[in-house]
Amino acid sequence: MMGPAHSLSGAAAWLGVGAAAYGAGYPMPWPVLVSGTLICAGAALAPDLDHKAATISRAFGPLSRWLCDVVDTLSHAAYKATKMRGDSHRSGGHRTLTHTWLWAVLIGAGMSLLAMEGGRWAVLGILFVHMVLAIEGLLWRAARVSSDVLVWLLGAAAAWILAQEMDLPGNGASWLFTEPGQEYLWLGLPIMLGALVHDIGDALTVSGCPILWPIPIGRKRWYPLGTPKPMRFRAGSRVELKVLMPAFMLLGGLGALGALGYI
């Protein structure tokens, strides 16, 4: 899928989690609901850091382009080192390592640990990166015609405001994890969820997605999971633009109402 659809699916997923949490007796304070939705929308772009033309690879100028080269190289190396006889030859690392459940879990756990141990500046850094990505994804056309600096300033302002709000008593620093020293441990959850939602979205397209790596399926370790082939579509097709994106908006709206206790 394309960036806007990935971001919408990530936002809808976290709002759905908010509705489920409300029903389970763990309602999200509004800063957690808002920041988690935006983080998940941004994190749903992150697996494509292995592709030079992806939104995330352009979002932070030379730094993200350099990271793209590093991730693509590492992903390709991991593919070559672990592929089985049935896996095809590849010349790059796109849709390999960063498109797996293991990557999603590790990146989410890593961000949780960083947020919990790194203090306020680590939280601000995580928020800033994902706010910028959320702006790039959700406001794709507007972000494309704006300067990078303007998008970065908007992301920094959103990160600062949300961090200030979550630091207030009862506003979410200790949501779900309430023991001393566990502040912001939850922050990795929308990051992990965003990566998984991205993978599921890519599994709907014609190429599929190797979500289950390193678990082998048949003669392939990088088996591209997906829906039945007649149901798949190309990224950017009318199915994505006219069916899935409106569906994500509807599901996100229902999730928000559920998270706020209105339904």
* Cβ–Cβ < 8 Å for 160, 187: no
State how far the Cα of 48 lies from the Cα of 57, in Å rounded to an integer.
Answer: 8
**Kind and range of the H or E element at 121?**
helix 101-138
| Single-letter code of the amino acid located at 31 | P
Mapped onto helix, strand or coil, the DSSP state of residue 256 is helix
Mapped onto helix, strand or coil, the DSSP state of residue 209 is strand
pLDDT single digits (tens) 43-82: 999 999 999 888 899 889 999 999 999 999 999 999 999 9
Give the per-residue pLDDT at 172.
Answer: 87
Lowest average pLDDT, out of 133-137, 142-146, 199-203, goes to: 142-146
Q: Enumerate the domain spans of the chain.
A: 3-260
- Residue 227 binned pLDDT confidence (cut-offs 50, 70, 90): confident
Q: Give the count of beta carbons closer than 10 Å to the beta carbon of residue 122.
A: 17
Give the per-residue pLDDT at 146.
Answer: 65
Cα dihedral across residues 51, 84, 201, 176: positive or negative = negative
Is 80 exceeded by the pLDDT of residue 140? no
Closest CA to 96 of 73, 79, 71, 81: 79
State how far the Cα of 100 lies from the Cα of 110, in Å rounded to an integer.
Answer: 16
Q: For the packed helices 30-43 and 245-259, what is the interaxial angle rounded to 10 degrees? A: 160
Closest CA to 93 of 57, 139, 39: 57
pLDDT single digits (tens) 149-188: 889 999 999 999 999 999 998 888 899 998 888 999 999 9
The mean pLDDT value for 26-35 works out to 95
* Cβ–Cβ < 8 Å for 46, 107: yes
| Single-letter code of the amino acid located at 251 | L
State how far the Cα of 168 lies from the Cα of 166, in Å rounded to an integer.
Answer: 5
Give the per-residue pLDDT at 232.
Answer: 84
- Whole-model pTM: value is 0.94
Mean pLDDT of all residues belonging to the chain:
92
Give the per-residue pLDDT at 178.
Answer: 87
Is 60 exceeded by the pLDDT of residue 261? yes
Give the per-residue pLDDT at 53.
Answer: 86
Give the Cα-Cα-Cα angle 80, 93, 82 (nearest 5 degrees): 25
